């Protein structure tokens, strides 16, 4: 019997942050389903990130840290987002590791 292992999450040992480009957000709410602790839909129907103390961050380009226990959920949100608007990047050099601009 063989055991399948998922590929390791890039950046799992580094501090990561996430932000949403509301100009591309389709308002599907998939990110909220995956990680409601990190994402929230506002009254305008668009998704935004939340601060560590659960405050909705509505400034364009607002970033929030990715909590390590939620890393897989945030990465899945970026991968499944129909608007390709979720950006996950390393804090140290601001290089995107998941999202539309990831290399």
Q: If you search the block for the tokens 């957000």, which residue do you land on?
A: 25
Residue 4 domain flag: no
pLDDT at 84 over 60: yes
The CATH number assigned to the domain holding 22 equals 3.30.70.20
Residue 38 domain flag: yes
pLDDT at 37 over 70: yes
Cβ contact 97:19 at 8 Å? no
Count of domains for the chain: 1
Length of the chain: 103
Residue 6 domain flag: no
CA atoms within 13 A on the CB side of 75: 18
Mean pLDDT of the 52-75 span: 96
pTM of the entire predicted model: 0.86
Residue 33 domain flag: yes
Percent of residues, the chain, with pLDDT higher than 70: 88
Cβ atoms < 10 Å from Cβ of 47: 26
Query: Nearest CA to 9 among 94, 86, 81, 78?
Result: 78
- Give the span between the Cα atoms of 92 and 9, in whole angstroms: 17
Task: Tell me which residue range forms the domain holding 55.
Answer: 16-98
What's the chain's average pLDDT? 90
């Amino acid at each position: 019997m063989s055991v399948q292992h998922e590929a390791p999450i890039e950046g799992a040992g580094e501090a990561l942050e996430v932000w949403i480009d509301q100009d591309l957000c389709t308002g599907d709410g998939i990110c909220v389903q995956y990680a409601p602790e990190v994402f929230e839909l506002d009254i305008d129907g668009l998704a935004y990130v939340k601060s560590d103390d659960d405050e909705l961050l509505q400034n364009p380009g607002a970033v929030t840290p990715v909590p390590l226990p939620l890393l897989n959920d945030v990465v899945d949100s970026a991968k499944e987002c129909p608007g390709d608007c979720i950006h996950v990047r390393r804090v140290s050099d601001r290089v995107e590791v998941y999202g539309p601009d990831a290399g």
